[in-house]
Amino acid sequence: MSEVFRGSFTQQEPIPEDGIRAALEVLRHGRLHRYNTVPGEMGEAAALEAEFAAFTGARYCLAVASGGYAMGCALRACGVQPGEPVLTNAFTLAPVPGAIAAAGGRPVFVEITEGLVIDFSDLEAKARASGARLLLLSHMRGHVCDMEALTELCARLGLTVIEDCAHTMGAEWRGVASGRHGAVACYSTQTYKHMNSGEGGLLITDDADLAARMVLLSGSYMLYGKHPAAPGAEVFERLRLDIPNVSGRMDNLRAAVLRPQIALLAERRQRWAALYRGMEAGLQGIPGLRLVPRPEEEAYVGSSFQFLLPDWEEPRITALLAACAARGVELKWFGAGEPAAFTSRYVHWRYAGDQSCPQTDRILFGLVDMRLPLTFSEADVAQIARIIRDEALRIGQAEAVEAVAAPQVQ
């Protein structure tokens, strides 16, 4: 009898006990709003900002309501204008172009490579053609491009880089924390990310003006002095009457849940790496299935796994997905004609207008994705890989038999 996986692809680990205790303390005293503190008290949100700034090595940090809000806040702080072109990867998730559109910008999609990262030649061509001055770089599904080369190219093109690090919190490129190459970095603490507060986001920067703009945008009113990981009052005094309030603060309850998780990021990266390597080993050598190589310079966080089916037709891909689903393995396909759950692609975002990225279309047509939650064991990953291997080989063999049995046309 064929084995069936009984685990859940969406079950996360429990919140650390320190986070539970801190959250209960916030609930008991009732001061959930980040600026509702007693004399001498640093609220949980303020403490989170200081601790995450220290973790990343950034000068400034802001805690906000979501990763999507973080991106919109960064774009507004960079002065995005109505209708202004903003470059971003053609392979990303809907909140990225959504943040651009919500801030008034116009998404301009850039091709990706076989490594699932932004294509530098297309980036240069579209930067020149559009006149864009902003790049919202999505480290989609944790894949990081050559950040030194990107930084050099963007400096030459006059592009300000905002990094979407929703999938790379705790990752590094050549020993530098993900998010430390651009002018601003945006992180998510939504349930399926690397720290879990249900919803939430973080922003980091070394630029005092950008930091002050983002704090004011987030809804600090005149309480910016309660941000320990922010610039001095003189920066706010210069800007405070010119920046609109687009409230998106993080509350103390979510910050309390998050603070103990910062110290767990390095260990979580190691555990995810073990799961990721197990999946690689289990899927290696399947005919017609291509793994995505990871550069040696990249210390990645393997919270999801992708593989390519470059020569498969749609019926064969959908047959594989259905067969794996029947055996408990949830695979997502980025080549589907219609968006499903969180999986969509640039042609589905009609508000961005008609755009063509044929190289990306070809790659995404064969791209399959799955989550690797830390509630999986290495044995779970090995079983999932066996199921995928079994079904891929079975479907391939069935097609071969059909091809032999088909009548030859004279």
pLDDT of 88 higher than 90:
yes
Q: Among 340-349, 353-362, 392-401, whose mean pLDDT is lowest?
A: 392-401
pLDDT of 266 higher than 70:
yes
Angle at 381 between CA 377 and CA 383, to 5 degrees: 110
pLDDT digits (tens, 9 = 90+) for 1-22: 589 999 999 999 999 999 999 9
* Domains contained in the chain, CATH given: 17-262 (3.40.640.10), 266-402 (3.90.1150.10)
Distance CA 301, CA 299 (A): 7
DSSP, collapsed to helix, strand or coil, labels residue 61 as: strand
Cα 147 from chain centroid (whole Å): 16
- pLDDT for 313: 97
**What predicted TM-score, i.e. pTM, was given to this entire model?**
0.95
pLDDT of 359 higher than 80:
yes
How would you list the strands of the sheet with 304-308, edge to edge?
A: 290-291, 304-308, 367-371, 332-333
**Which 8-state DSSP code applies to residue 193?**
S
- pLDDT for 311: 93
- pLDDT for 396: 81
Pairing between strand 160-164 and 134-138? parallel
The mean pLDDT of 344-349, rounded to a whole number, is 95
